[in-house]
Amino acid sequence: MTITWLALFTTIPIAIGATVAALSMRGISVSAIEGMTRQPEIAPQLFTAMLIGMALVEALCIYTLVVALMLAGHVGRLIGG
């Protein structure tokens, strides 16, 4: 394998993970804002649930970053010797 393919192999997981996380956070926020506009009296509960959901999605994105960094380290060892 060439170095270009190995570099691409290490960047694909974080690109996919970040894209999925961004789309998920968009869905969470849109749903929460729609709920807040329909029922303003439960806005604090929806806001709390929205923050917890976004934190879990962000944790998934961070795990994806860790896996991508582990792959990059492994590829670096393959290239270096």
Domains of the chain (ranges; CATH) run 3-80 (1.20.20.10)
pLDDT at position 60 is 92
Residue 75 pLDDT greater than 80, yes or no: no
- pTM given for the model: 0.78
Cβ-based burial of 52 (10 A; exposed 0-12, middle 13-18, buried ≥19) = exposed
Distance, CA of 29 to CA of 54 (rounded, Å): 8
Residue 34 pLDDT greater than 90, yes or no: yes
pLDDT at position 1 is 62
pLDDT at position 52 is 96
